[in-house]
Structure 1
Amino acid sequence: MDAIVIEQFGDAEVLRPGRVPDPPSRSGWTTVRLHTAALNWHDVLVRRGLYASPLPHLPGADGAGTTPDGEPVVILPALFWGAREAAPAPGWELLGDARHGTYAQFVSVPDECLAPRPAGFSWAEAAALSLVGATAFRALVTRAELAAGESVLILGAGGGLAPGATAIAKAIGALPFVTSSSDEKIAVARTHGAVAGVRYTDEDWIDQARAMSPGGDGYDVVLDSVGTWGESLRALRPGGRLVVLGASQAEQATLAARPFYFGQYSLLGTTMGSPADFRGLFRLVAEGRLGAPTIDSTFALSDAADAHRRLESGRAYGKIVLLIA
């Protein structure tokens, strides 16, 4: 089959078209003929070698395609989550880390990691839904228990997660606000449901963010995918919840203990999404409360390197998708 093969870790140039064997058939797994694969920042980290994937390797977590019976499906890339909903089992993994992913004509996944393609979604939109959608659903609904009427500040409006998180917050009746590096991205975020936004490049962005929150007291929830916990806590109202699901800017955070416990804050870690989160996400879609993901651009599978350059440029808003067949 045709695929994008990484022979060594490095910059986007290491993403090269190649030929590899089709995945083998096995009981309890389904081989999906992929039509699209959506990019995530996680793919960049895999390409750089952060997860020490075995080489040669096929990256990619998100995908949509057809089963051998012709059923159109979307792939849930969180494999082997386990029986406990509170956290994944020790042996869980993300598709495209230890085993070949979706930058290929075919991929094999456990049967529980498939869901029907939502009605009315294009192949690109279907591929773009799963990882970001399930991750944002788990962060906001399962972990933060964000409720209708509450406010949430979503850091980084231009990132791959933020548009999906904004849409999910709006779908459940919450009030999403955003931060971004540019007024243009804030304007785009507002057209997709954000109430308002501030530039995090401004020195007083936290004061601005608190001032625009309902009542000016701070947010019920802050969604932090960048690792700036101290700043995020300052944007919360007393008793608010900080949900952490990434570290794109900082790998470590230092918090002052007394302000934290006197503020009655909650600090919640989360990652990816379980099959139950996946089903919850698709219920929102089926009920007509959540529409298709925002697509920034599409590229041919053979142009995966250019797609990664687009992702790393920081200019994209929404998902970047590879067209396979």
Structure 2
Amino acid sequence: MRAIIHAGGSGIHSLQQTELPEGLPSAGEVKIRLKAAGLNHRDLFLMAERTDADSPLILGSDGAGIIEAVGEGVDELLIGSEVIINPCLDWAKTKQVPTVPNILGGPTAGTLAEYVIVPEENVIRKPPYLSWEEAGGLSLAALTAYRALFTKGQLQPGQHVLIPGISGGVATFAALMAAAIGAHVTVTSRSEVKRQKALDLPITSALDSHADWVQAIGMNAVDLILDSIGPATFSQYFEVIKPNGTIVVFGASSGDDITIPMRSLFFPQVNIKGTSMGSHEEFAAMMALLEQHSIRPVIDSVYPLSEIDLAFKHMEQSQQFGNIVIRIDERD
């Protein structure tokens, strides 16, 4: 099978296309012929940290395709099924949070290949209304957004959610999901182009990241903030959040270290929570929500597998709006 491996150093330039054995599913596993896969910033972080001493790795966490073989104990009637992969392994129950989530695409071989083998419980039926490109690029971003909004953020209809840095898959999925249940959605971006694209989504408003948020938001203070930025914007959150409001952190694109104004935290009794990925239970609930509201992912661009380096460079330049998808089932 064709596969994209990362080997021999760090960064995008260490990506290589090669031929590898397909492998056979073991007990409890399914073998999937992939139709499409998605890229995530996690892939860039992994590549940046790897060295020439590391073993070759097939990157990629998201994917969708057709089950071609099953291992012992798996119903053979699943062969031929169109499925979406949940990339978060070994996390069944929502409250049983692992110390570090085990995610497809590092250390386990990922989806940037023609075939992947995963546990049966990590696949779910592909909704018919989704194209292969839409289905292949949604899993990690949509799961992260769902857990942040609903498990951690406890978002309710009519509440106001702020999503700073509208751009990638998690932020766009969060905006779509929140709007679908009847929440008010405000987003921010430094880019006027991205703010204009955001206005095509069912959101309340799109603010310039450098604007006066207090003046722009006015009396409609925020119940929930989803933070993936960190220190560059964190202090502003306390100016616009309601008493007993919640900040859910799922990223740190501007760095790890923040200074929290303690009185702004304990007087209004603000909640700060961290989140990452999600459980099998949440993945099933997330997919049910998408299907109930016919939510389609925002697709930024689609690349063939042979142009994987161009796709990652596009992501590295932070120009994307939505998901970057890799088309796999065609020989280029």
- Fold match by TM threshold 0.5: yes
Deviation at 1:309, TM superposition (A): 0.6
Please report how far the alpha carbon of residue 91 of structure 1 lies from its aligned counterpart in structure 2 after TM superposition.
6.5
Q: Which residue of 2 aligns with 1:272?
A: 277
Check 1:285–1:21 CA distance in 2 against 1; reply closer, same or farther (3 A cut).
same
Look up the equivalent residue of 2:33 and give its one-letter code: R
Q: CA deviation at 1:234?
A: 2.8
Structure 1 unaligned regions, length at least 5: none
Query: Is 1:148–2:157 an aligned residue pair?
Result: yes
Structure 1 position 258, deviation (Å): 2.3
Q: Secondary structure at the match of 2:55?
A: coil
Q: Deviations over 1:110-155 (max 9, x none)?
A: 1111011112111010012211111101100111110000011101
Tell whether the 8 Å contact from 1:63 to 1:75 is kept in structure 2 after alignment: yes
User: What secondary structure, in the 3-state scheme, does the structure 2 residue paired with 1:88 have?
Assistant: coil
CA distance in 2, matches of 1:51, 1:100: 17
1:13 match? 13
Residue 28 of structure 1 corresponds to: 28
What is the distance in 1 between the residues matched to 2:286 and 2:306?
Answer: 31
Q: Partner residue of 1:157?
A: 166
Partner of 1:76: 86
**Amino acid paired to 2:282:** D
Q: How many residue pairs end up in the alignment?
A: 317
Partner secondary structure for residue 319 of structure 2: coil
Identify which range, 105-114 or 15-24, moves more after superposition. 15-24
1:245-324 equivalences under 5 Å are 245-287=250-292, 289-324=293-328
Residue by residue, what CA displacement relative to the aligned partner does 1:46-68 show, whole Å, maximum 9, x if unpaired? 11126999521110000000002
Q: Deviation string for 1:285-306 (max 9, x for gaps)?
A: 232x141101111111111100
After superposition, what is the alpha-carbon deviation per residue over 1:38-93, rounded to whole angstroms, capped at 9, x for unaligned? 1111111111126999521110000000002111100010000144x225224640
Could you tell me whether the CA contact under 8 Å between 1:37 and 1:128 is conserved in 2? yes
The amino acid across from 2:228 in the alignment is S
Q: How far 1:184 moved relative to its partner? A: 1.5
| Equivalent in the alignment of 2:179 | 170
Deviation at 1:246, TM superposition (A): 0.6
Query: How do 1:74-153 and structure 2 match up within 5 A?
Result: 74-83=84-93, 85-90=94-99, 92-153=101-162
Aligned with 2:224: secondary structure? strand
Change (3 A) 1:143 1:159: same
Tell me the secondary structure at the aligned position of residue 263 of structure 1.
coil
Question: In 2, are the aligned partners of 1:38 and 1:127 still within 8 Å (CA)?
Answer: yes
Q: Deviations over 1:267-312 (max 9, x none)?
A: 111111111111111111232x141101111111111100001111
TM-score, scaled to structure 2: 0.91
The change in CA–CA distance for 1:121 and 1:232 in structure 2 (over 3 A counts) is same
- 1:230 CA drift (Å): 2.4
Q: What secondary structure does 1:120 align onto?
A: coil
1:159 CA displacement: 2.3
Q: Name the SS of the counterpart of 1:281 in structure 2.
A: helix
In the alignment, the residues of structure 2 paired with residue 103 and residue 66 of structure 1 have an alpha-carbon distance, to the nearest angstrom, of 15
Distance change >3 Å, CA 199–CA 23, structure 1 → 2: farther
- Relative to structure 1, the CA distance from residue 165 to residue 290 in structure 2 (aligned partners, 3 Å threshold; closer, same or farther) is farther
- 1:203-282 to structure 2, matched below 5 A, reads 205=211, 208-213=212-217, 216-228=219-231, 229-282=234-287
Which deviates more, 53-62 or 262-271?
53-62
CA distance in 2, matches of 1:192, 1:291: 11
Aligned residue for 1:184?
Answer: 193
1:47 corresponds to 2:56:
no
How far off is 1:162 after superposition? 1.2
SS across alignment from 2:138: helix
For 1:51 and 1:225, locate their aligned partners in 2 and report how far apart those are by CA, in whole Å: 27
Using structure 1 for the length normalisation, give the TM-score.
Answer: 0.93
Structure 2 unaligned residues grouped into runs of 5+ = 69-78
CA distance 1:290–1:227, change in 2 (3 Å): farther
Q: Give deviations 1:212-234, integer Å, cap 9, x for gaps.
A: 33x52521111001123323333
Contact 1:129 1:292 in 2 (8 A): no
Q: Distance in 2 between matches of 1:86 and 1:237?
A: 27
Q: 1:277 to 1:54 in 2, by over 3 A?
A: farther
